[in-house]
């Protein structure tokens, strides 16, 4: 299985002969480029076209994050796995109102399922779990537009986030979800984790025939890969939130792992290192797949969602979103 490299230090990516190196002021280490799938860059890292061309030969995607640790953009090599037929069919599913609503509903349904799954493990959140079930059951059969679906999803997610105060440490109290910018530690953690899962999903889409800019729940935009946002809805509660719960309740991340700058609250370098290590462990954790009869990592399940969408677009199999059974 190809690996993910996270660079959190300042330095330089440099090619010398047929080797890629990452250099800092104190060390120089080679990168096993043949076994790397993607590189997430958080520090101030210099690289030139010589290094980029070499990275492109191996189909490695670079994801860049800003000073606060939030996603800034990606460098993606020329895509090799392309299919005009799949892209056309994907676009037709967007243009057909009923087909688009069906797929958008699937993404939200899976997200809500995984939110409720997280809360079922916590007795303190039982009242919130019941509230989500009531909100979802009362609203999901009356959906006639994407905006109504997103409104329902927003109400469910507000209840879900409100439940965090019942089982997370008091230091991480959440009054409300804040994204731009996050002004407290719990919002900073959620935003940081969501940025990472977004870029991870984007990498998995890149390795398939899907077009990342044609989406169904989120409106396609010129400034984002919105299909990555769609698929991320499935994995944010399943992966990111479970990582946050573990790190906070085990006191692996505390308030000392955050800094503040103007209106921003963000993880410092040590906090990012801890979070990234735990997220990497989660994504590499394997679960036995019922149909394939083999172990599949969480990251592998993201790729499988992409393949299921392709089968749906070409008419092989109706899309059914992931609902974790384990």
Per the annotation, binding residues for Mn(2+) are: 153, 218, 233
Q: Please give the angle made by the CA atoms of 324, 150 and 233, to the nearest 5 degrees.
A: 30
Backbone angles phi, psi at 202, to 5 degrees: -60, -40
- Strands 36-41 and 61-65, bridge-based pairing: parallel
Q: Quick check: helix, strand or coil at residue 134? A: helix
- Asked if 41 and 76 count as a contact pair (C-beta separation under 8 A), the reply is no
Which of 175, 285, 188, 310 lies closest to 235 in space, CA to CA? 285
Report d(CA 162, CA 173) in Å as an integer: 9
* Other residues' Cβ atoms within 10 Å of the Cβ of residue 178: 17
Binding-site residues: 153, 218, 233
* Other residues' Cβ atoms within 10 Å of the Cβ of residue 68: 19
Pairs from 302-310 (Cβ < 8 Å, separation ≥ 24):
302/200, 302/201, 302/204, 302/231, 302/235, 303/204, 303/207, 303/208, 305/231, 305/234, 306/204, 306/205, 306/207, 306/208, 306/210, 306/231, 307/208, 309/90, 309/103, 309/210, 310/86, 310/208, 310/209, 310/210
Greatest alpha-carbon pair distance for the chain in Å reads 63
């Amino acid at each position: 299985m190809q690996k993910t490299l996270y660079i959190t230090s300042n330095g330089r990516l440099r090619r010398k002969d047929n080797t890629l190196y990452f250099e800092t002021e104190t060390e120089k280490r080679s990168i096993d480029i043949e076994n790397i799938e993607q590189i997430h860059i958080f520090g101030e890292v210099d690289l030139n076209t010589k290094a980029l061309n070499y990275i492109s030969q191996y189909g490695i995607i670079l994801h860049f994050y800003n000073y606060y640790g939030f996603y800034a953009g990606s460098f993606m090599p020329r895509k090799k796995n392309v299919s005009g037929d799949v892209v056309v069919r994907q676009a037709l599913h967007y243009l057909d109102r009923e087909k688009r609503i069906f797929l958008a509903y699937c993404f939200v349904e899976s997200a809500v399922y995984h939110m409720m799954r997280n809360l079922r493990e916590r007795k303190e959140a039982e009242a919130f779990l019941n509230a989500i079930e009531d909100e979802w059951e009362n609203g999901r059969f009356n959906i006639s537009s994407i905006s109504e679906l997103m409104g329902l999803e927003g109400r469910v997610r507000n209840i879900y986030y409100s439940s965090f105060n019942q089982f997370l440490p008091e230091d991480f109290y959440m009054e409300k979800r804040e994204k731009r910018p996050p002004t407290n530690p719990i919002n900073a953690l959620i935003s940081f984790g969501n940025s990472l899962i977004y870029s991870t999903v984007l990498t998995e889409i890149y390795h398939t025939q899907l077009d990342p800019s044609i989406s169904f729940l989120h409106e396609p935009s010129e400034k984002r890969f919105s299909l990555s946002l769609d698929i991320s809805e499935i994995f944010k509660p399943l992966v990111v939130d479970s990582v946050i719960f573990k790190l906070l309740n085990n006191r692996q991340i505390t308030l000392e792992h955050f800094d503040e700058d103007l209106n921003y609250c963000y993880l410092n370098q040590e906090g990012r290192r801890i979070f990234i290590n735990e997220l990497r462990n989660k994504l590499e954790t394997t679960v036995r797949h019922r149909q394939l009869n083999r172990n599949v990592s969480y990251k592998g399940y993201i790729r499988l969602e992409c393949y299921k969408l392709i089968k749906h677009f070409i008419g092989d199999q109706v899309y059914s979103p992931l609902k974790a059974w384990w």
